[in-house]
């Protein structure tokens, strides 16, 4: 016997994940979300978030092989396949899942036309994945089966008659996006300073609320103290050094090229980074045995480490 998704997950209000700051990690989270929260009966998937927040990469993780129609990779699919869906497209070899970026498509097509196309496709049993769902919602008249917001955190919710509305999710993630850019930028600046002083240890990047974690197999052999690392990073911040996109694997810190797996998720100038602080000692994770360096941004910098993820 088949059950609709609201019966399968009727107790699911919302789930929150850290929003990864890298292409691979965002795709992996998308795959995890699809496995845990996506129902085969979900026809309308809405994503909300500012440009470069990672929506398209999350979609690639959730729906491997789905052809995205926006220009994130320099490819624009014209005409929009969603607009060509009709009642005859119900055979085995016809597409089942369609993608649309409302912010991008609004430059070519009126909003009410896009809303009608989405509703018609859903009525025919197709699945439609909508980026910038908050822009389409006023014209659509119905909420998404699964709604995902991406800011500093990823919010996953299954809306009901009582909400949440896409605008509520948008309000939360839009406000938190600037701090996410600050965190990612200062995270790279810390590694940049440490490698400038000769650090060769392999470094993995991870997340903590309002901050970042640099993870090592063993304590790095640094010729300077963490106090000095923090001071040099703060000097770069005060200098207002530019940070810019170079390519999909690099940014530019001033005029210097630096490898980065999330090159679009940065502040434009280091002067935008507020209240950075670095924990002055490495912490050993008792579970993994890895050596962790923790940094935080904003007024949360004065919090104790153990309080960062407090609910």
Q: Residue 294 gets which letter from DSSP?
A: E
Q: Name the percent of the chain lying above pLDDT 70.
A: 87
* CATH code 3.30.980.10 region(s) in the chain: 178-307
At 57 the pLDDT is: 92
* CATH code 3.40.50.300 region(s) in the chain: 5-164
At 45 the pLDDT is: 97
CA-wise closest residue to 62 among 42, 90, 84:
42
Dihedral angle of Cα 44, 50, 54, 57, to the nearest 10 degrees: 40
Reported as a single tens digit per residue, the pLDDT across 183-227 is 999 999 999 999 999 999 999 998 888 899 999 999 998 999 999
At 93 the pLDDT is: 45
Q: Name the percent of the chain lying above pLDDT 90.
A: 69
Measured in residues, the chain has a length of 311
CATH architecture for segment(s) 5-164: 3-Layer(aba) Sandwich (3.40)
At 191 the pLDDT is: 95
CATH code that applies to domain 178-307: 3.30.980.10
At 23 the pLDDT is: 84
Backbone phi and psi for residue 171, each to the nearest 5 degrees, phi listed first: -60, -40
At 190 the pLDDT is: 97
CB within 8 Å of 287: residues ≥ 6 apart: none
CB within 8 Å of 120: residues ≥ 6 apart: 85
CB within 8 Å of 182: residues ≥ 6 apart: 267, 272, 273, 274, 276, 297, 298
Q: What is the pTM of this model?
A: 0.84
Radius of gyration of the chain (CA): 21
Please say if the pLDDT value at position 8 is more than 60: no
- Higher local confidence (pLDDT), 87 or 18: 18
Reported as a single tens digit per residue, the pLDDT across 71-86 is 555 456 667 888 888 7
- Higher local confidence (pLDDT), 74 or 292: 292
At 134 the pLDDT is: 96
The DSSP string of 214-269 is EEESS----SS-HHHHHHHHHHHHHHT-BEEEEETTEEEETTEEEE-S-TTSS-SB
Reported as a single tens digit per residue, the pLDDT across 219-260 is 998 999 999 999 999 999 999 999 999 998 999 999 999 999
């Amino acid at each position: 016997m088949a059950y609709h998704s609201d019966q399968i997950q009727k107790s699911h209000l919302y789930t929150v994940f850290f929003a990864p700051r890298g292409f691979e990690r965002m795709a992996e989270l998308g795959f995890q979300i699809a496995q845990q929260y996506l129902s085969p009966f979900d026809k309308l998937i809405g994503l909300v978030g500012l440009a470069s927040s990672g929506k398209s990469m999350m979609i690639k993780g959730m729906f491997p092989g789905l052809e995205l129609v926006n220009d994130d990779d320099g490819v624009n699919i014209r005409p929009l396949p969603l607009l060509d869906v009709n009642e005859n497209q119900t055979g085995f070899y016809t597409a089942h899942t369609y993608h649309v970026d409302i912010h991008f498509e609004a430059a070519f097509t009126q909003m009410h036309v896009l809303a009608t196309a989405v509703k018609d496709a859903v009525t025919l049993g197709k699945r439609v994945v909508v980026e910038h769902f908050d822009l389409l919602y006023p014209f659509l008249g119905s909420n998404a089966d699964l709604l995902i917001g991406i800011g500093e955190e990823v919010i996953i919710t299954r809306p009901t008659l009582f909400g949440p509305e896409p605008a509520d999710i948008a309000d939360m993630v839009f406000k938190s996006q600037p701090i996410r850019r600050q965190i990612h930028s200062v995270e790279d600046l810390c590694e940049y300073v440490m490698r400038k002083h000769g650090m060769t240890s392999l470094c993995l990047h991870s997340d903590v609320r309002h901050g970042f974690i640099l993870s090592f197999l063993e304590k790095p052999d640094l010729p300077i103290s963490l106090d000095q690392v923090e001071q040099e990073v703060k000097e770069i911040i005060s200098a207002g050094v530019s940070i810019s996109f170079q390519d999909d694997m690099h940014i530019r810190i001033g005029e210097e090229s630096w490898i980065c797996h999330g090159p679009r998720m940065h502040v434009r100038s280091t002067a935008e980074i507020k209240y950075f602080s670095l924990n002055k000692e490495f912490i050993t994770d008792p579970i993994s045995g890895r050596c962790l360096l923790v940094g935080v941004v904003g007024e949360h910098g004065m919090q104790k480490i153990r309080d960062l993820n407090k609910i």
